[in-house]
Amino acid sequence: MIGADSEVLIIDNSEASIWPQKHEEVFVGLMEEEVLKGNRNTTTFTKQSWKHIKEELCAQVKRSYTNLQLRNNYNLLRQKHKDFKSLLKETSIGYSEVTGQVTAPDKVWDRLIRVNNPSIDLDNNDDDDAMSKSPSVRNQESSFDEDGRKRRDKSTGTTSSRSAKKAKFSLALAETLTVYNETAKRKIDLYENSMTLTKHHLLDECIEALNQIDGISGEVYAKAIEKFESELTLLTLSAMDHHHQHCSESPQTLSPPPPSSTDDTTTTITTPTCCKCGATAAFNAPPPWSEISPPNYRPIRAPAINLPPNQSQQAIILTPVPQAQRVPIETPPFQFQTPSKRIQSPEDIRRFHESFSGKNFLGFIVALSESVRGRKISDPVHHQSPITDSIVSILETLIQWVDEIPPTQMKSRYGNVSYRVWQERLVENSENLMLRFLPDDLRSSTVEIVPYFTDSFGNSSRIDYGTGHETNFAAWLYCLARLGLIKEEDYDSVVIRIFVKYMALMRKLQTVYCLEPAGSHGVWGLDDYHFLPYIFGSSQLINHKYMKPKSIHNEDILENFSHEYLYLSCIAFVKKVKKGPFSEHSPLLDDISGVPNWNKVNSGLLKMYKVEVLEKVPIMQHFIFGSLIKW
């Protein structure tokens, strides 16, 4: 706001603004410095000089002016002072900054009236624009009054012979300045009124928002009112979303007044408080998240109210990159048992990952990933074992069953009931399928490995499939490695033969029976169904000469190489089943495409798999433990 005693100039109508007198003085001083430096270009300054003037002006007056405002004020100053240009050439002209009056001999006054007669003859012009036709001086209320004319230089000896014309000129000039001054005051009044109305409107909005808060104390209310004295605070609070005006932080523990009785017990009241004003929040804040990794939540448009902060990304960053481990082979005497669920809480998750079984299982997955580094699906495997051929044959049998059990005509989007028929056939024949490759001394292991196998293809009750079922398939392969059926030299064939066939089966089940994604994170998840093929596929592409993570956006690469690399195969499948821009339906995969190399993609996905899958209670609560994967 500009004080009532401040001298102001009004910029022209194209850019109406307040121009304080002290700002004009700084502006003129900066222009004088540029003139002394010689930074002039014909009748104006160079672009560099104007830029310097603008920056220095805004820095000194602590107010931002646009180029248009500076240009208008520059033109206004030129118009303001051009009428005195001829007077400044006269040696007998005088001007007092204190009184704002001009002194001159009679002959100078006569010549000024004769030369400028059309512009100063304003007797019949009452329009407001008349003020722009006459010169103005530093003090807007100054005029060429009678006292000023009496102080004319008498040394010339010239007497006034045209006093009537001089009086007419003085009167016209005084009237013009009066009109100019009144117009300026009207504009200032309009500006002040508009600011006052705006301030009252913002104040009403903030008071109304404050009154809607329940349980606020008088002290807090008074403190909030004090903050309304700042116009910036009013603008901020009025423009702020409602849930931001009163959002809750962690609960505060408040001590109630001491009881009147002699009982020494103290009761604490847990009350959520507003992070802005300290008042009672509208919603109760949840207790702190105690799990190893907080739930994966990433807001799309605006932060939700009173939800725990999203620290999943931080947890992934802080997690060390998992390392490959050798799988110890189980030796007789065997004690196979029916596996059971053990994980029920974050503490159980922590116990599992600190155990040998948890570390070794994750190390097995890392070893599988490293076995296919730089290898294509069509490359020959290092060792083609009979166990690998048997498992591939079993998966082909399951694919054939899908063709034999067509989906039922249904109107629902997810969950075709024919999947339950397929799952029932799987459960009935699973033991016989295992006996195809189990040696005689390990036939009793079916009691333990069959549950992992049957849980690897989805849930028949919910008719869904997710990363938990995929983890069960990896656990089934791990159990075979613990039994010595899968050896380290078979790891590459496990990925590019067995796991590739498993992916073909699962995609057919997902598309034919419309399996619902289990535990999907929506658009903020890596994939609705899978995680491991991204790990194995990124390892395949490490040190590739041409294909980079950003190559997933090249349709020709996806079309020609998706059958050779699991990562590209998954991207192509996602683009096939989902509509719309890739960055919108799969933002996480789109973000990963910006990583510089596949090595970082692979290590990041391994850490993410540990945090987002193996450390999540909703997923791992269905995981089972026996003698091969011990609790």
Could you give the domains of the chain? Answer: 8-186 (no CATH), 212-256+268-285 (no CATH), 346-625 (1.20.120.1150)
Say if residues 387 and 393 touch (Cβ distance below 8 Å): no
- Higher pLDDT among residues 502 and 153, named by residue: 502
One-letter amino acid for residue 524 of the chain: W
Residue 167: the pLDDT is: 72
Nearest to 601 by CA among 571, 562, 622: 571
Q: How confident is the model at residue 47 (pLDDT cuts 50, 70, 90)?
A: confident
Burial annotation 321-354 (CB, 10 A radius, 16+ → b, else e):
ebebbebeebeeeeebeebeeebeebebbeebbe
Q: How confident is the model at residue 317 (pLDDT cuts 50, 70, 90)?
A: confident
- Higher pLDDT among residues 143 and 522, named by residue: 522
Say if residues 53 and 44 touch (Cβ distance below 8 Å): no
Nearest to 113 by CA among 146, 83, 153: 83
First and final CA of the chain: distance in angstroms? 72
Q: From CA 495, how far away is CA 336, in angstroms rounded?
A: 27
What are 212-227's pLDDT values in tens digits? 665 566 666 666 666 6
Residue 142: the pLDDT is: 40
- Contacts for 576 with CB less than 8 Å, ≥ 6 apart: none
- Higher pLDDT among residues 267 and 417, named by residue: 417
Burial annotation 508-536 (CB, 10 A radius, 16+ → b, else e):
ebbebbbbbbbbbbeebbbbbbbbbbbbb
Residue 70: the pLDDT is: 83
Q: From CA 420, how far away is CA 423, in angstroms rounded?
A: 5
Say if residues 35 and 89 touch (Cβ distance below 8 Å): no
- Higher pLDDT among residues 483 and 43, named by residue: 483
Q: Residue 219 has which token pair?
A: 């002290």
**Confidence check: pLDDT of 448 > 90:** yes
Distances (CA, A) of 469 to 147, 433, 524, 567, 621: 102, 19, 20, 19, 12
Most confident of 7-11, 239-243, 285-289: 285-289
What are 61-96's pLDDT values in tens digits? 888 888 888 888 888 777 766 655 555 555 556 656
Q: Quote the DSSP letter at residue 287.
A: P
**Confidence check: pLDDT of 134 > 60:** no
Say if residues 101 and 147 touch (Cβ distance below 8 Å): yes
Residue 618: the pLDDT is: 92
Q: How confident is the model at residue 451 (pLDDT cuts 50, 70, 90)?
A: very high
Q: How confident is the model at residue 25 (pLDDT cuts 50, 70, 90)?
A: confident
- Higher pLDDT among residues 403 and 118, named by residue: 403
Residue 69: the pLDDT is: 84
- Contacts for 621 with CB less than 8 Å, ≥ 6 apart: 341, 343, 344
**Confidence check: pLDDT of 276 > 60:** no
Instruction: Name the 3-class secondary structure at 45.
Output: strand
Question: Alpha helices, DSSP H only, in 301-345?
Answer: 312-318
Q: From CA 421, how far away is CA 401, in angstroms rounded?
A: 10
Residue 489: the pLDDT is: 94
Rounded to two decimals, what is the model's pTM? 0.54
Nearest to 488 by CA among 357, 359, 371, 332: 371
Residue 209: the pLDDT is: 65
Burial annotation 489-501 (CB, 10 A radius, 16+ → b, else e):
ebbbbbbbbbbbb
Q: Quote the DSSP letter at residue 168.
A: H
What are 135-166's pLDDT values in tens digits? 444 443 343 444 444 444 444 444 455 567 67
Nearest to 109 by CA among 170, 52, 34, 176: 170
Give me the percent of the chain exceeding a pLDDT of 90. 43
- Kindly state the greatest CA–CA separation across the chain: 139
Mean pLDDT, rounded, for 290-318: 52
